[in-house]
Amino acid sequence: MKYNEHEIDTIYKENLKNARQRLASLPVAEGREPNMQGLNGWVYEQTIRHCLAEELKMLGLSPVIKEQVPLHRRAKIDLLVGNVAVEIKAKGSFGDDDKKYSGYLDEVKKKGWVYCYLTGSETHPPYRSATKSTFGKRSFFLDEAGDWERFVREVVETIK
């Protein structure tokens, strides 16, 4: 593997800092750095996309990767890698996300996709447990050593 959990976290934090600084340099920002969750999530998604694409390239694979793919009504998939739909969260879930994702699971299956969940961390044990219950072996927590490699292997096995 080219990356591991620690390297991905470092890349994310460096790029988030850079994004805030660059946005602060816009004339309308007058030097004020943005502090919003949407930016954090977008930078994290881009970090995962970049690192995954690099890993797949090293393995001789180049599946089509799409972002914010419509799923059902207003629901969107964060990343679609071939037929692998990936829900990405920088800092875990909020509240009853497991119920929402359980509903999405049926829609994902109807499209012939496989549904994965990847997060940088999940510190609340009940949410972690609920996510594992919903996604099973396709839940990946980058605060667990080896889960990045396990995620990449799952994507590779599924897209082949």
**pLDDT digits (tens), the chain, 160 positions:** 999 999 999 999 999 999 999 999 999 999 999 988 799 999 999 999 999 999 999 999 999 999 999 999 999 999 999 999 999 999 988 777 878 888 899 999 999 999 999 999 999 999 999 999 999 999 999 999 999 999 999 999 999 7
Phi, psi of 94 (to 5 degrees): -130, 120
CA distances from 80 to 3, 19, 40, 77, 95 (A): 20, 24, 20, 7, 24
- SS3 breakdown of the chain: % helix, strand, coil, rounded to 5? 55, 20, 30
The predicted model scores a pTM of 0.94
Domains in the chain with CATH codes: 5-159 (3.40.960.10)
* Euclidean distance between CA atoms 140 and 116, whole angstroms: 8
Query: CB of 110 within 8 A of CB of 139?
Result: no
Which helix (H) or strand (E) segment holds residue 81: the answer is strand 75-81
3-state SS assignment for residue 93:
coil
Q: Which residues pair with 154 in a beta bridge?
A: none
